[in-house]
């Protein structure tokens, strides 16, 4: 059976969809058959970030309602042969998702895929609850700001109590923290929570720290997941996160402020004179 991963947060705009896209691409690149599902019914952004918006014919709700088969609705990524996308509906409301319907889709996907990534909407409404209900692994995405971290702490409470694993008394969901838009300079200026501050509040294993980077916006606008931008700090940080998710021991990068070019120049000259 496939492992089901939910990418969640309490607050909107923290980078869940960017994370879902990049993790899915990263897993597929490693050779794992991966499906990523957009649970944000009524909005639908995953297809834009994945660059497949023009190829959407049927969606998640069509499958649940029996208006199409799963195979008709799945969009196969052109650049990553092991990756498929199941888009959300833009014309239905969130009540269109049912527990039975979601369970049936996940069960069918589980027959063919190694990983199923559920891109959750923000908050605690029905779409978000269903996205996490069947999960084996949760990636809690947060920004280093008080409101985002507080809302993520609320989501951890739901993950421990309102899931299928909790109801059945099974082993709890494996929880991981992904910190996005991290800027060491703003941390040192006191304008942003530090990594240790966030870790102290949430107290779950750290999967990755994604630095604040213009590459994320460029990738979103061009319909290419930022993990494919292997030259960018953000792309490399997402690749590191995927490696850690798969159990690899990878050191954390991009946690310190990069020295100004003048400082680098003097440091280079000092080394020359030694």
* Averaged pLDDT for residues 221-235: 96
Tokens (6 digits) for 226: 């930022």
How far apart are the C-alpha atoms of 137 and 41, rounded to whole Å?
22
User: pLDDT value at position 257?
Assistant: 79
Average pLDDT of the chain is: 92
Q: What is the pLDDT of residues 16-45, one digit of tens each?
A: 999 999 999 999 999 999 999 999 988 889
Closest CA to 135 of 166, 113, 111: 166
CA angle 122, 70, 134 (to 5 degrees): 45
Residues 6+ apart with CB under 8 A from 108: 70
Bridge partner list, 208: 178
Q: What is the pLDDT of residues 211-220, one digit of tens each?
A: 999 999 999 9
The beta strands (E) that lie in the chain are given as 3-8, 34-38, 75-76, 83-86, 115-119, 137-142, 174-182, 206-211
CB atoms within 10 A of CB 53: 15
66: left (phi over 0), alpha (psi -120 to 50) or beta: left
Report the SS3 class of residue 72. helix
Residues 6+ apart with CB under 8 A from 111: none
Bridge partner list, 35: 84, 116
Sign for the CA dihedral angle at 213, 218, 221, 227 comes to negative
Phi then psi dihedrals of residue 182, to 5 deg: -85, 130
Reported confidence tier of residue 10, pLDDT bands at 50, 70, 90 = confident
User: pLDDT value at position 261?
Assistant: 47
Q: Which burial class, exposed, middle or buried, applies to 36 when counting CB atoms under 10 A from its CB (0-12, 13-18, 19+)?
A: buried
pLDDT higher than threshold 90 for residue 126: no
Report the SS3 class of residue 126. helix
Residues 6+ apart with CB under 8 A from 208: 178, 179, 237, 238, 240, 241, 244, 252
Q: What is the pLDDT of residues 251-267, one digit of tens each?
A: 999 998 776 545 554 55
Q: Can you give the three-state secondary structure of 157-221, one letter per residue?
A: HHHHHCCHHHHHCCCCCEEEEEEEEECHHHHHCCCCCCHHHHHHHHCCCEEEEEECCHHHHHHHH
What's the pTM value of the predicted model, to 2 decimals? 0.92
pLDDT higher than threshold 50 for residue 69: yes
Tokens (6 digits) for 64: 């649940």
């Amino acid at each position: 059976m496939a492992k089901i991963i939910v990418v969640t947060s309490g607050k909107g705009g923290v980078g869940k969809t960017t994370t879902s896209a990049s993790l899915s691409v990263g897993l597929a690149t490693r050779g794992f058959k991966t499906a990523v599902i957009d649970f944000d019914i009524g909005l639908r952004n995953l297809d834009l970030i994945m660059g497949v918006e023009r190829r959407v014919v049927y969606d998640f709700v069509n499958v649940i309602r029996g208006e199409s088969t799963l195979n008709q609705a799945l969009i196969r990524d052109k650049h990553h042969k092991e990756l498929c996308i199941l888009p959300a509906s833009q014309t239905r409301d969130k009540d269109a998702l049912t527990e039975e319907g979601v369970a049936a889709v996940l069960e069918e996907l589980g027959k063919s895929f190694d990983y199923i990534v559920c891109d959750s909407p923000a908050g605690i409404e029905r779409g978000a609850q269903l996205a996490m209900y069947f999960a084996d692994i949760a990636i809690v995405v947060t920004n280093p700001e008080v409101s985002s971290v507080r809302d993520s702490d609320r989501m951890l409470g739901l993950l421990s109590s309102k899931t299928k694993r909790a109801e059945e008394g099974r082993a709890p969901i494996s929880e991981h923290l992904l910190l996005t838009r991290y800027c060491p300079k703003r941390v040192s200026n006191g304008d942003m929570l530090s990594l240790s501050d966030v870790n102290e509040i949430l107290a779950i294993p750290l999967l990755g720290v994604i630095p604040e980077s213009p590459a994320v916006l460029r990738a979103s606008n061009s319909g290419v997941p930022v993990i494919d931008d292997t030259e960018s700090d953000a792309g490399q940080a997402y690749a590191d996160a995927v490696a850690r998710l798969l159990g690899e021991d990878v050191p954390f990068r991009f946690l310190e402020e990069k020295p100004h070019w003048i400082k680098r120049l003097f440091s280079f000259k000092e080394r020359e004179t030694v």
